[in-house]
A = this chain, B = another copy of it.
């Protein structure tokens, strides 16, 4: 609830259009919708202009479908992450226009007319096994109206593969780097570019990778100061922040 609307409300009280008791109640009646097992925050989508998002893990297909439908009813674009095939079936039976990507485990519904892409996000991954996380990031960024360049399988042990894509990195406003194992790629990329790098540790690896903890620690200790880190496998979060950066970086022609 923005300062402006508080002022409006208080002005209504001053004018006698609203009693103090009503105003007090209204302060509490913020724009979210309570459907029993969840409070859907249309307010966030309204405030940020970004799509509505459901984190589908740990919810039943019916819950996912119900929340998805409520969000879709508001006319926004909708994104569900961590959705398995059952959740996708439940949603697509109600929204045949939605699209399911089984590798990225995303369900996307485009209801608005996409504007020109705002900003350029490069998504890198170190190996084939990092693809699901990278795709979650790429699909999210696309739905959030960024231009996305995918640069996959460019791990640091074959440096020539990374150097070969250097030109493609040059025009990005922000770079997302997904890597498991030792998590070295963001440091190397961070030294090659002059823009923010968002590192996503992936749970790829075995033995002492400890399900991504080794990569996470590596990235937090990056010697490149333009690297910040999100949670293990959190491609969505990386793309969310990257989109905010990219759209800020994007200058509309004056």
Name A residues whose Cβ lies closer than 8 Å to a Cβ of B. 1, 3, 6-7, 10-11, 13-14, 16, 19-21, 23-24, 27-30, 32, 34, 37-39, 41, 43-44, 47-48, 53, 57-59, 63, 82, 126-129, 131, 152-161, 163-164, 166-167, 170, 173, 180-184, 187-188, 190-192, 194-196, 198, 201, 203-210, 212-234, 236-238, 240-241, 244-245, 248-249, 251, 254
CA separation between A194 and B72, bound complex, in Å?
22
CB distance from A119 to the nearest CB of B (A): 9
Q: In the complex, what residues of B have CB within 8 A of residue A48's CB? A: 194
Instruction: Give CA–CA (A251, B251) in the complex, Å.
Output: 8
Residues in chain B near residue A245, CB distance under 8 A: 196, 245, 248
Instruction: Give Cα distance in the complex from A160 to B11, angstroms.
Output: 21
Max chain B Cβ within 10 angstroms of own Cβ: one of A27, A129, A184: A184
The answer to whether A126 touches B223 (Cβ under 8 A) is: yes
- Alpha-carbon separation in the docked complex, A248 to B250 (Å): 8
- CB of A207 within 8 A of CB of B182, answer no
Residue in B191, B203, B220 whose beta carbon sits within 8 Å of that of A229 in the complex: B220
The answer to whether B241 touches A227, judged by C-beta atoms less than 8 angstroms apart, is yes
Task: Return the 10 tightest CB-CB contacts between A and B, nearest first.
Answer: A207-B232, A184-B184, A10-B20, A214-B217, A157-B191, A248-B249, A228-B228, A225-B240, A182-B218, A207-B231
Count of this chain's copies in the oligomeric assembly: 8
Tell me if A226 and B241 are in contact (CB < 8 A): yes
Q: Tell me if A244 and B195 are in contact (CB < 8 A).
A: yes
Given contacts A161-B41, A226-B240, contact A3 B167 (CB under 8 A): yes
Measured in the bound complex, the distance between the Cα atoms of B10 and A16 in whole Å is 11
Q: Name 10 interchain pairs, CB-CB below 8 A, sorted by A.
A: A11-B20, A37-B131, A53-B225, A180-B221, A181-B222, A184-B187, A205-B221, A207-B231, A214-B218, A222-B231
Bound-complex Cα distance A32 to B155 (A): 13
> What is the chain B residue whose CB lies nearest that of A157?
B191
Which of these, B159, B166, B173, B231, contacts A206 with CB under 8 Å?
Answer: B231
Task: Check B191 against A209 for contact (C-beta < 8 Å).
Answer: no
A10: nearest chain-B partner, CB-CB: B20
CA distance A205 to B219 in the complex (A): 13
CB atoms of B10 and A23 under 8 A apart: yes
- Inter-chain CA distance A214–B222, complex, in Å, is 10
